[in-house]
Amino acid sequence: MNTSPALRDYFIGLQQSLVAVFEAIEGSGGGRFRVDCWEKPADEALTGHGRTAIIEGGRVFERGGVAFSNVAGAALPPAATAKRPELIGCSFEAMGVSVVVHPENPYCPTAHLNVRALVASKPTQSPVWWFGGGMDLTPYYPFVEDIRHFHGVCRAALSRFGDDVYPRYKKWCDEYFFLKHRNEARGVGGVFFDDLNEGGFERCFALTRAVGNSFAAAYLPLIERRQHQPYGERERDFQAYRRGRYVEFNLVWDRGTLFGLQSAGRSESILMSLPPLVKWRYDWQPEPGSAEAELYEILSPRDWLE
């Protein structure tokens, strides 16, 4: 069964629909996405193609990317085999969509979506396939009603796959998007899953589509609520400081970033997730009782839907 056309059609369609809704948020006077189509030469270790849509300096989104990629290689990189040593030496094909959007207004949260599929094979074995992905929210100034909305959409998207799925994937997300060197969560979570092949291909593909298709409903209402909220230099300064945590996670811990770089992927597309303006300070702490301190009070994992 050749599943590649169905996967490719879905991922390309998802990319196109998300670019359209982000441009609708930008409005007629806002920014537009630049679309960069690329292809890896057939004589390289990694072959394939992709379509990276990028917005920079928009009215709402200071930087954002919606990227589709479809690549293949002779051997899985270490990031993919670290927890599955039986796949060392397998050739592979991977495709999916990655989304990261960094609004300019600090009261608007950063958000991330990834949905992907991978097939690994050896000449003497049947192919092994799995899906992965999820979405998560990274606010700078937290609004509890926004976080509950985001998690509520996540739960609703997964409800038909079993009552236990959202709690498991929510916990997985909390554990994955955690900066071990800081002992600190990157944001307020969402859902995350990987190596998904239980229940058959159609179920796993349907679950992956449910996550991808629900991202706009989870995230865009938060932008619509907060994009006009006034802010000043203090809020922008704190946003830049917290964006540093985002950069640290993506460059130190993120499996997707490591997979792309280790497999000789296209660096510009892999690193589109990084924000345009970032700051670091030595051992900085927010003023007790301040609006900035509120963020640190809600970073510990909790059940947002209680």
Residue numbers annotated as active site: 112
Helix (H) or strand (E) holding 298: helix 291-298
Count of other CB atoms within 10 angstroms of residue 86: 11
Contacts of 273 (CB under 8 A, 6+ apart): 65, 98, 100, 112, 246, 250, 257
| Ramachandran angles phi, psi of 136, nearest 5° | -150, 160
Q: HSE-up of 62 (CA within 13 Å, CB side)? A: 20
Structure tokens at 227: 């994009």
- Dist CA 176 CA 174 (whole Å): 6
Give every strand in the sheet of 46-56, ordered side by side. 34-40, 46-56, 61-73, 91-103, 110-121, 128-138, 189-196
DSSP designation for 142 = -
Residue 249: name the closest of 159, 168, 184 by CA: 184
